[in-house]
């Protein structure tokens, strides 16, 4: 058990370290959490082509690593982080930043592959927290002002915030782990998504407040947050979203932490801020997956309908090119001339052909239910593929939305 006298003294000097519920999940946040849970289920179950999944997973890891290190001052771009992810060494002047990023990528992969796969995931313990810090601080030498995997042994001040005295760190971390088990009832199995989201935010803020390490606290806190969300079932394609949200809204991130501190540890506003960011990020990921499904169904429909046609090979190729070219803007309508002049690749397919040939091909594509004509304009006949997609209304530009 944590030392009661130490905790009593810290509660006097740092009243925000309550180790007690001090937040409200209001109607708005509860509604957003419900939507996030539904989107998590969709992202985790909607089919993806292996190459598309690999691409999205790569993007998620790169964004997650870039975001959580950028918050701490790492200046590597997405392109440079991508090189690190591919095992490419950067110039010597960037070597320590490369190591920072590689450590985070390795830690994220460890969580995904080892801690949250194929069985129960561990509860939060002091040893787990130390292991996460050791992972993010590996091989950084003098560029990490801390001993990786060891609690600090000196006082620290971050801006105007004076962290608890270093003898209090171990008892505070032990108290945090005990309280998280009691408050959120995680016993190693699958956790309710809504509850896990609150636990992730609470853990993040308490690590920031306790500041158990001389350096690397932010990366450790966000890795713990990532771990808690991943073990509750947040799909790996979306597990980077919170770190990315914090980085993209960095001034607000620090303002929200400061506000929660000043308000005696009330986490309601930070929770709303975090859940809103998670919701928006998950909506973006889901949109990418849905668009991939739409593109796949469209290409399958085009190839299937044209394969039913008997005729000259060059004619079939022209029509296929027109139909597949529409994939760039499936929700847009075109005049025939506009289609010929502005859609990439269409004009090249009709070099040496007459306009009559072009219009005859369009008529064939209408007959095959690949194109549809409305108000004098042509567009992809999405009605033909909608039975194969999840029920979701597609609104064309300029159309009235419900």
pLDDT at position 195: 92
pLDDT at position 117: 65
Q: Same domain for 234 and 95?
A: yes
* Single pTM value for the model: 0.85
pLDDT at position 7: 82
Checking if the pLDDT of 392 tops 90, the result is no
Whether residue 205 lies inside any domain: the answer is: yes
* Residue 394: band (very low, low, confident or very high) from pLDDT cuts 50, 70, 90: very low
Checking if the pLDDT of 176 tops 90, the result is yes
For the chain, what is the domain count? Answer: 2
Share of the chain above pLDDT 90, in %: 60
Q: What six digits make up the tokens of 63?
A: 């964004």
Q: Same domain for 71 and 215?
A: yes
Residues 272/245, Cβ–Cβ less than 8 Å: no
Q: Same domain for 36 and 179?
A: yes
Residue 376's domain is classified under what CATH number?
1.10.10.10
Domain of residue 213 covers 4-287
Residue that terminates a domain, selected from 257, 287, 317: 287
CA torsion through residues 267, 221, 161, 74, sign? negative
Whether residue 187 lies inside any domain: the answer is: yes
Whether residue 372 lies inside any domain: the answer is: yes
Checking if the pLDDT of 194 tops 50, the result is yes
pLDDT at position 293: 85
pLDDT at position 398: 45
pLDDT tens column, 233-272 = 889 899 889 999 999 999 999 999 999 999 999 999 999 9
Residue 127's domain is classified under what CATH number?
1.10.3290.10
Q: If you write DSSP's letter for every residue of 276-296 in order, what string do you get?
A: HHHHHHHHHHHHHHHHHHHHH
Whether residue 80 lies inside any domain: the answer is: yes
Q: Same domain for 270 and 316?
A: no
Residues 21/271, Cβ–Cβ less than 8 Å: no
Q: Where are the alpha helices (DSSP H) in 125-267?
A: 126-137, 169-184, 193-210, 217-231, 241-248, 250-262
Q: Same domain for 280 and 314?
A: no
Q: Same domain for 184 and 102?
A: yes
Q: Same domain for 254 and 135?
A: yes
Residue that terminates a domain, selected from 252, 287, 322: 287
Cα 360–chain centre separation:
46
Q: Same domain for 275 and 320?
A: no
Query: Which helix (DSSP H) or strand (DSSP E) does residue 378 occupy?
Result: strand 377-380
d(CA 146, CA 391): 52
Q: Same domain for 79 and 154?
A: yes
Task: List, in sequence order, every residue forming a beta bridge with 379; answer none if it has no partner.
Answer: 372
Mean pLDDT of 204-232: 95
Q: Same domain for 320 and 220?
A: no
pLDDT tens column, 86-113 = 999 999 999 999 999 999 999 999 998 8
Whether residue 395 lies inside any domain: the answer is: no
Whether residue 99 lies inside any domain: the answer is: yes
pLDDT at position 312: 60
Q: Same domain for 317 and 185?
A: no
pLDDT tens column, 299-345 = 888 888 888 766 566 677 888 888 877 776 777 888 888 888 887 77
Q: Same domain for 36 and 170?
A: yes
Closest-CA residue to 104 (of 63, 50, 142, 152):
63
Whether residue 296 lies inside any domain: the answer is: no
Mean pLDDT of 185-189: 77
pLDDT tens column, 33-89 = 999 999 999 998 888 889 999 999 999 999 999 999 999 999 999 999 999 999 999
Rounded to the nearest integer, the mean pLDDT of the chain is: 88
Residue that terminates a domain, selected from 287, 317, 342: 287
pLDDT at position 125: 96
Place of tokens 């713990």: 224
pLDDT at position 264: 95
Q: What six digits make up the tokens of 74?
A: 């790492």
Q: What does DSSP assign to residue 158? A: E
pLDDT tens column, 146-163 = 999 999 999 999 989 999
Closest-CA residue to 252 (of 27, 62, 71, 38):
71
Whether residue 50 lies inside any domain: the answer is: yes
């Amino acid at each position: 058990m944590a030392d009661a006298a130490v905790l009593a003294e810290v509660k006097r000097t740092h009243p925000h370290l309550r180790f007690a519920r001090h937040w409200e999940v209001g109607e708005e946040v509860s509604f957003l959490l419900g939507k996030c849970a539904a989107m998590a289920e969709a992202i985790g179950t909607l089919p993806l082509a292996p190459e598309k999944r690999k691409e999205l997973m790569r993007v998620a890891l790169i964004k997650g690593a870039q975001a959580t290190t950028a918050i701490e001052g790492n200046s590597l771009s997405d392109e440079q982080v991508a090189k690190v992810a591919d095992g490419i060494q950067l110039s010597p002047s960037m070597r320590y930043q490369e190591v920072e990023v590689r450590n985070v990528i390795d830690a994220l992969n460890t969580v995904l592959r080892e801690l949250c796969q194929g069985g129960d995931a561990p509860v939060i313990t002091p040893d787990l927290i130390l292991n996460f810090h050791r992972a993010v601080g590996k091989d950084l030498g003098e560029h990490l002002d801390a001993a990786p995997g060891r609690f600090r042994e000196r006082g620290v001040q971050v801006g105007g915030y004076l962290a608890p005295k270093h003898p209090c760190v171990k008892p505070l971390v032990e108290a945090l782990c005990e309280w998280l088990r009691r408050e959120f009832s995680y016993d190693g199995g699958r956790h309710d998504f809504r509850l896990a989201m609150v636990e992730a935010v609470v853990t993040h803020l308490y690590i920031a407040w306790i500041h158990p390490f001389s350096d690397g606290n932010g990366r450790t806190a966000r890795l713990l947050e990532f771990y808690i969300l991943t073990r509750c079932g947040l799909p790996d394609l979306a597990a980077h979203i919170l770190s990315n949200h914090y980085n993209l809204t960095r001034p607000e991130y620090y303002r929200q932490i400061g506000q929660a501190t000043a308000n005696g540890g009330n986490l309601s506003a930070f929770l709303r801020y975090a859940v809103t960011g998670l919701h928006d990020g998950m909506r973006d990921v889901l949109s990418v997956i849905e668009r991939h499904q739409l593109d796949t169904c469209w290409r399958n429909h085009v190839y299937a309908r044209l394969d039913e046609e008997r005729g000259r090979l060059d004619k079939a190729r022209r029509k296929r090119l027109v139909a597949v070219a529409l994939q760039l803007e499936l929700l847009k309508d075109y005049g025939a001339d506009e289609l010929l002049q502005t859609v990439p690749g269409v004009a090249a397919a009709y070099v040496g052909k007459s306009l009559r040939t072009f219009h005859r091909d369009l008529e064939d594509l209408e007959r095959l239910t690949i194109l549809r004509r409305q108000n004098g304009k042509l567009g992809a006949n999405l009605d033909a593929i909608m039975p194969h997609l999840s029920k979701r209304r597609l609104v064309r530009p300029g159309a009235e939305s419900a």
